[in-house]
């Protein structure tokens, strides 16, 4: 949570300064200034799978700290940039480090927290980002008035705090280190994609990012100004409705998902977020806008909990590429969503909001089709216990094989293999 907060507050401080810095100090146009922002996002996408493979090879703790370090150093150097292209390259490098950090951090959280607390842990992690994301832009506006370069140095400072916390807090955690027992088993992306639950989680993550991060940020300010004919103050009020309700629902939603299941939370989150955009498309008044923003906050809060917990349930051992694909789905939505919805908004805002509601509707269908995943980890542990009991009977190896084939579920075979490796003598 501390890492998430300091990363988010630093990003919030620097985000308002980037286009102003590019146009003001280097005298480039709006397109070139926007390209600096896009370069960061595109490098996160391009480096997602390499980052996942690095996690499988070297462990989450090292990759997490390295990624934060890359973003910190590149940000500090960006504050010293003398040309536009230096700024462009340094922000691109920051995108690579950001991919390393975010994938490894999620991997640590969902693998180290017990299944019975996983959804709440994911919610608290999201809460750290939410708090930092709320506080950062306000501070960034103040700091930018002092200097366009100062936000980059402050961002580097907050990242240094985050990286130090990661190194210290994770130094004695076995799952975060290379060569741990947990590293012996891995979940491949191919095996994850064969599971409907993983596909539903990826679709929900894509739809949530498209709606909550992409379309909301790109179109809502214009919708309030051009359709509702209200000042930017009401845009801020709407965004506060989303953030406030989002924050309030994280822990209750996580508790429900841990006790009852991930599937109903995922379905409800997609349905409520879709309803919010239906309201925006059909009820073009200030009360309708505020109600829609509240509903969106509720839906996005549920989606900050359930999809990540589903991925954690599915992954057994390390699964860097699995987490990478999950993160990539939101990054792609953040890039494509505003462009596609913006093109439709040239015709009508109702069409853009309708498309967003349709994408969330597809995620609802995927959620309905998925099985519940909350009990997967418990099933693996139970299979492991059965393997130990079989081995303790000192039966012949061929009998052990027959017992495993008849009693072990597919979800537990990786765990069973790890137990066999530990308990069987090489000669046996």
Domain 1-184 has CATH 1.10.3720.10: no
pLDDT band for 408, please (50, 70, 90 cuts): very low
Q: Is 318 helix (H, G, I), strand (E, B) or coil?
A: strand
Report the distance separating Cα 110 and Cα 296, nearest Å: 25
Residue 425 has pLDDT above 60, yes or no: no
Residue 381: count of CB within 10 angstroms of its CB: 13
Report the distance separating Cα 143 and Cα 358, nearest Å: 40
Residues 6+ apart with CB under 8 A from 342: 218, 219, 352
pLDDT tens figures, 113-165: 888 899 999 988 888 888 888 777 778 778 888 888 998 999 999 999 988 88
pLDDT band for 208, please (50, 70, 90 cuts): very high
Which residue shows structure tokens 């900050």? 304
Q: At what angle do helices 216-226 and 349-369 cross, to 10 degrees?
A: 140
Mean pLDDT of 48-55: 90
Per-residue burial over 97-112, b = 16 or more CB atoms within 10 Å of its CB, e = otherwise? bbbbbbbbbbbbbbbb
Report the distance separating Cα 10 and Cα 205, nearest Å: 24
pLDDT of residue 140: 77
Distances, alpha carbon 255 to alpha carbons 5, 187, 302, 312, 424, in Å: 21, 26, 11, 16, 40
pLDDT tens figures, 322-335: 999 999 999 899 88
pLDDT of residue 210: 93
Report the distance separating Cα 275 and Cα 313, nearest Å: 28
pLDDT tens figures, 173-197: 665 455 444 445 678 899 999 999 9
**Same fold for the domain at 1-184 and the one at 186-374?**
yes
Task: Judge contact between 11 and 129, C-beta under 8 A.
Answer: no
Phi, psi for residue 408 in degrees, rounded to 5? -95, 130
The residue with greater pLDDT, 367 or 410, is 367
Helix%, strand%, coil% for the chain, nearest 5: 85, 0, 15
Parse the chain into domains and list their residue ranges: 1-184, 186-374, 377-423
In the chain, % of residues over pLDDT 70:
85
Residue 79 has pLDDT above 80, yes or no: yes
Around 396, how many Cα atoms within 13 Å sit in the side-chain half-sphere?
Answer: 2
Report the distance separating Cα 390 and Cα 199, nearest Å: 35
Task: Judge contact between 355 and 387, C-beta under 8 A.
Answer: no
pLDDT of residue 89: 94
Residue 318: beta bridge partners? 186
Report the distance separating Cα 424 and Cα 428, nearest Å: 6
Right CATH for 186-374 from 3.40.50.880, 1.20.1250.20, 1.10.10.10, 1.20.120.1200: 1.20.1250.20
Of 323, 288, 238, the residue nearest 56 (C-alpha): 323
The residue with greater pLDDT, 266 or 341, is 266
Q: Is 186 helix (H, G, I), strand (E, B) or coil?
A: strand
Mean pLDDT of 74-87: 93
pLDDT tens figures, 384-399: 556 656 665 555 555 5
Structure tokens at 117: 């607390």
Which residue shows structure tokens 């309700």? 245
Residues 6+ apart with CB under 8 A from 284: 227, 228, 349
Distances, alpha carbon 265 to alpha carbons 73, 300, 304, in Å: 39, 11, 10
pLDDT of residue 427: 45
Residue 307: count of CB within 10 angstroms of its CB: 32
């Amino acid at each position: 949570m501390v890492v998430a907060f300091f990363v988010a507050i630093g990003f919030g401080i620097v985000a308002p300064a980037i286009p102003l810095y590019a146009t003001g100090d280097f005298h480039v146009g709006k397109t070139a200034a926007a390209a600096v922002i896009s370069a960061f996002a595109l490098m996160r996408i391009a480096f997602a799978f390499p980052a996942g493979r690095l996690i499988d090879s070297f462990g989450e703790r090292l990759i997490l700290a390295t990624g934060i370090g890359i973003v910190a150093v590149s940000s500090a150097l960006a504050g010293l940039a003398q040309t536009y292209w230096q700024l462009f390259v340094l922000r691109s490098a920051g995108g690579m480090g950001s991919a390393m950090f975010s994938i490894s951090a999620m991997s640590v959280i969902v693998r180290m927290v017990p299944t019975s607390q996983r959804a709440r842990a994911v919610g608290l992690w999201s809460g750290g980002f939410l708090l930092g994301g709320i506080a950062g832009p306000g501070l960034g506006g103040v700091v930018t008035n002092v200097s366009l370069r100062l936000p980059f140095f402050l961002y580097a400072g907050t990242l240094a705090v985050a990286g130090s916390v990661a190194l210290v807090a994770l130094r004695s955690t076995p799952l975060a280190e290379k060569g741990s027992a947990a590293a012996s088993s891995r979940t491949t992306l191919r095996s994850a994609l064969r599971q409907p639950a993983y596909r539903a989680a990826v679709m929900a993550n894509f739809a949530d990012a498209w709606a909550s991060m992409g379309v909301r940020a790109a179109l809502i300010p214009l919708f309030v100004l051009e359709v509702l004919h209200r000042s930017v103050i009401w845009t801020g009020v709407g965004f506060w409705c989303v953030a406030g309700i989002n924050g309030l629902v994280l822990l209750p939603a996580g508790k429900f998902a841990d006790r009852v299941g991930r599937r109903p939370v995922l379905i409800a989150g997609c349905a409520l977020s879709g309803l919010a955009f239906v309201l925006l498309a059909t009820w073009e008044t200030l009360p309708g806008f505020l109600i829609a923003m509240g509903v969106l906050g509720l839906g996005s809060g549920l989606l900050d909990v359930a999809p990540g917990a589903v991925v954690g349930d599915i992954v057994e051992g390390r699964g860097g590429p699995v987490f990478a694909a999950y993160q990539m789905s939101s990054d792609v939505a953040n890039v494509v969503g505003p462009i596609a919805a913006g093109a439709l908004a040239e015709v009508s805002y109702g069409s853009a909001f309708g498309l967003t509601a349709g994408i969330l509707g597809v995620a609802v269908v995927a959620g309905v089709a998925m099985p519940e995943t909350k009990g997967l980890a418990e099933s693996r542990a139970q299979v492991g216990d059965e393997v130990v009991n079989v081995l303790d009977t000192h039966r012949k190896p061929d009998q052990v094989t027959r017992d495993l084939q008849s009693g072990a579920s597919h979800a537990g075979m990786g765990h069973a293999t790890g137990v066999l490796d530990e308990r069987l003598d090489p000669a046996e």
